[in-house]
Structure 1
Amino acid sequence: MATFLSSVLLLVLRTYAAPPEHVQVWPGGWTQAPGEAGNETLTPSLVPPPGTAQHAPHSIIIGVRKGGTRALLEMLDIHPEVAAAATEVHFFDWDENYVRGLEWYREQMPYSYPHQITVEKTPGYFTSPAAPARICAMNPSIKLLLILRDPTERVVSDYTQVYFNRLENRKPVQAIERMLVKNGALNTRYKAIQRSLYDVHMRNWLQYFPLRQIHIVDGDTLIRDPLPELQRVERFLDLPPRIHASNFYFNQTKGFYCIRSDGHERCLHESKGRPHPPVNGTVLRQLRSYLRQHNRDFYRLIGRTFNWH
């Protein structure tokens, strides 16, 4: 044990004893500056890139969960005038974060240059009763992005994510039919179904924001053909057109589009695009039937229809 601790101590001393030979770039645009001559401090100095600052978002991707929010943010991040928050902040939907205040929220944002806009995404905002009023209180003229997909498919994706998460954490799992059906009837209180009632949640948002401030992205189209959807987002955010067809390539193995930018290629995490479990046909028809009227009400609210069967 003593030998092990001595080895660790030696490693630490070697790490900090050697002065840095170059500026080290850290995630989020931070850099580690070289130490000045005679500076004997052992604590690295972290400074943001010159000319940058943290700003409250100019636009927020408010949802929907399992609608393609991560894909939208990653694709939008290609744009040189976009600074995307690295993680979901959950400021407006989690009370324990909201009480920390707007200054704390701003500090969660990436450092950006004056010509860039900051974008944050938290899928839980769309279905949160409190989020619309809280965001409006921060900035009533903010531009909101809402990405949606077929609500029935979204329910199955929602279940699939929870299913694999529980497996990874060695927790018991149930077949999707047991979640969708209770006492012989569709379990409309199941959270995954509640999240797919787009009309219910949209009414809450329209109490605080006019429809012109909420741009709806077709998540099903984004998967099949991302460029047109991204170009519409660029126009909505008043961004110059900088996203092109060359920024995307279809990955045959994964079965969806990946991103090519600045000489690098990247795909979404392996947890995205997982195959859905088979669902009993009768149960699936029950679910589609229940959601049909909600879809029609949603179409009327937004003055637009989608190809949701």
Structure 2
Amino acid sequence: MKIWKSYFIYLIYISIALIFVTFIIKDEFTRLTLLKKYGDHGRSSKIRKYQSSYLNSFIEKYRPKTFLSYIDFGFSQPDPIKTEKKRQRFPKVIVIGAQKCGTTALIKFLSFHTAVSVQMKERHFFTNDSNFVHGSPNYEFYRRGMFYSTFDQITIEKTPNYFAAPKVPQRVFEYQKFMKRKLKFIVIVRNPIRRATSAVFHEVRANRLKLDNLTEVLLKPGNNFVNLSMYGYHLNRWLEYFKLKQFLFINGERFIKENPCKTMRKIERFLKLPQEFEHDDFGFIKAKPNYYCYLPLEYCFESERGHSHYPQNVTIEGLKILTNMFEADLRLFHNASGIKPERLLV
């Protein structure tokens, strides 16, 4: 009897010790998981909330179990959803553009939401003609390009040149029929002249364009820099295949200049995500005084992101001509998106 009593006491001690160890190593699991997902940014001491759902499931899976955990009393069955592993899934949401309007900042901030799995690398699946040469496209190849996610996370892809590519709306429509569910699209736009100017200097930095006169480049008939800023024209092509309620439109001028929290909450509502973003999640740090950062991880963009100063500026006369060129198209875009032209032309 004394032996059994001693065994029972030892088991109690071991169970208490295992429970204690669980809490000791919980912070280490948090640190390692954040390092795996975010790299060096996971070391920040200001991490406040990412550990909510993702880490709880991670810790629950790997936490040491007491001897009672191995006893089946017959009252419960394993939950196949909770035990499902992370895998690559088809995107249900696509950030389709526009180029040079803040899509990288938008998708990076969105990646900090625990209910979202984001593929940061642009896939260009629907703009690549080779994917649509022989019969049905290989959607499995598309899926395998996504980041791993759990059952309760939404997979999101971002390729900003989808918005203005002529063949893409129909190809995405065929993908929607394959998915047998309505997709959702996020479109972020900014001042069309600034967008075109940013695109020009992007080509210059990539050594694909030698620039002599910025104004002449933008006023050259049929140039692609101005064409890609015709938001209303490109949106109408998408609306031939999709309903307006499938789109969320974001004013990139406000997103860049104001606290991003309002925009991120707008996305949360559109995607029916739990509210996680708070106003004080975004702000400035000494190293990047002019760029909004995600403070829990002190994540900021490189200095060339969101640049507003260029070696050349459009002349005053050129601005007037370009403004007149975009006026009708911005009214067309406003009719669908609700974003007034004067809110972009600031």
| Pairwise TM-score range, normalised by the shorter structure | 0.7 to 0.9
Q: Quick one: structure 1 residues 52 and 236, their matched pair in 2 at CA, closer, same or farther if it must change by over 3 Å?
A: same
Report the Cα distance in structure 1 between the residues aligned to 2:321 and 2:227, rounded to whole angstroms: 15
**Structure 1 residue 237 corresponds to structure 2 residue 271:** yes
Q: Secondary structure at the match of 1:139?
A: helix
Question: Hey, what does 1:57 align to over in structure 2?
Answer: 91
Q: Is contact 1:28–1:111 with CA below 8 Å preserved after alignment?
A: no
**Structure 1 residue 209 corresponds to structure 2 residue 246:** no
User: What are the ranges of 5 or more consecutive residues in structure 2 without an aligned counterpart?
Assistant: 1-31, 40-82
**Structure 1 residue 165 corresponds to structure 2 residue 213:** no
Q: Is contact 1:67–1:219 with CA below 8 Å preserved after alignment?
A: yes
| Match 2:140 to one of 82, 87, 103 | 103
Question: Hey, what does 2:194 align to over in structure 1?
Answer: 153
1:85 CA drift (Å):
0.1
Matched ranges for 1:286-305 at <5 A:
286-305=321-340
| Match 2:113 to one of 54, 69, 79 | 79
| Match 1:115 to one of 152, 174, 185 | 152
Q: Secondary structure at the match of 1:278?
A: coil
Question: Hey, what does 1:250 align to over in structure 2?
Answer: 284
User: What are the ranges of 5 or more consecutive residues in structure 1 without an aligned counterpart?
Assistant: 1-22, 30-48, 181-185
Q: TM-score of the superposition, structure 1-length normalised?
A: 0.77
1:96 CA drift (Å):
2.8
Report the Cα distance in structure 2 between the residues aligned to 1:56 and 1:110, rounded to whole angstroms: 10
Q: Is contact 2:256–2:306 with CA below 8 Å preserved after alignment?
A: no
**Structure 1 residue 223 corresponds to structure 2 residue 267:** no
Report the Cα distance in structure 2 between the residues aligned to 1:240 and 1:132, rounded to whole angstroms: 29
More strand by share: 1
Q: Secondary structure at the match of 2:298?
A: strand
Deviations 1:1-29 (A, max 9, x none): xxxxxxxxxxxxxxxxxxxxxx9986799
1:268 CA drift (Å):
1.7
Q: Is contact 1:249–1:259 with CA below 8 Å preserved after alignment?
A: yes
Q: Is contact 2:253–2:344 with CA below 8 Å preserved after alignment?
A: no
Q: Secondary structure at the match of 1:266?
A: coil
1:255 CA drift (Å):
1.8
Report the Cα distance in structure 2 between the residues aligned to 1:268 and 1:228, rounded to whole angstroms: 19
Report the Cα distance in structure 1 between the residues aligned to 2:251 and 2:338, rounded to whole angstroms: 14
Question: Hey, what does 1:200 align to over in structure 2?
Answer: 233
Q: Quick one: structure 1 residues 210 and 111, their matched pair in 2 at CA, closer, same or farther if it must change by over 3 Å?
A: same
1:145 CA drift (Å):
0.4
Question: Hey, what does 1:281 align to over in structure 2?
Answer: 316
Deviations 1:214-253 (A, max 9, x none): 1001111111221111101100001010111232112564
Deviations 1:139-158 (A, max 9, x none): 25100000011111111111
Question: Hey, what does 1:32 align to over in structure 2?
Answer: none
The number of residue pairs the alignment matches comes to 258
Q: Quick one: structure 1 residues 281 and 304, their matched pair in 2 at CA, closer, same or farther if it must change by over 3 Å?
A: closer
Q: TM-score of the superposition, structure 2-length normalised?
A: 0.69
Question: Hey, what does 1:175 align to over in structure 2?
Answer: 213
Report the Cα distance in structure 2 between the residues aligned to 1:97 and 1:172, rounded to whole angstroms: 32
Report the Cα distance in structure 2 between the residues aligned to 1:303 and 1:290, rounded to whole angstroms: 20
**Structure 1 residue 308 corresponds to structure 2 residue 344:** yes
CA RMSD of aligned residues (A): 2.4
Question: Mean Cα displacement is larger for which, 110-119 or 246-255?
Answer: 246-255
1:303 CA drift (Å):
4.1
Q: Quick one: structure 1 residues 222 and 303, their matched pair in 2 at CA, closer, same or farther if it must change by over 3 Å?
A: closer
Q: Quick one: structure 1 residues 188 and 247, their matched pair in 2 at CA, closer, same or farther if it must change by over 3 Å?
A: farther
Report the Cα distance in structure 1 between the residues aligned to 2:95 and 2:87, rounded to whole angstroms: 21
Larger Rg: 2
| Match 2:185 to one of 138, 144, 167 | 144
1:178 CA drift (Å):
2.9
Q: Is contact 1:28–1:110 with CA below 8 Å preserved after alignment?
A: no
Q: Secondary structure at the match of 2:242?
A: coil
Q: Secondary structure at the match of 1:255?
A: strand
Aligned partner letter, 1:76: L
More helix by share: 2
Deviations 1:59-112 (A, max 9, x none): 000000011100110111110111110200000112134556211110000000
Q: Secondary structure at the match of 1:297?
A: helix
Q: Secondary structure at the match of 2:126?
A: coil
Report the Cα distance in structure 2 between the residues aligned to 1:119 and 1:292, rounded to whole angstroms: 32
1:270 CA drift (Å):
3.3
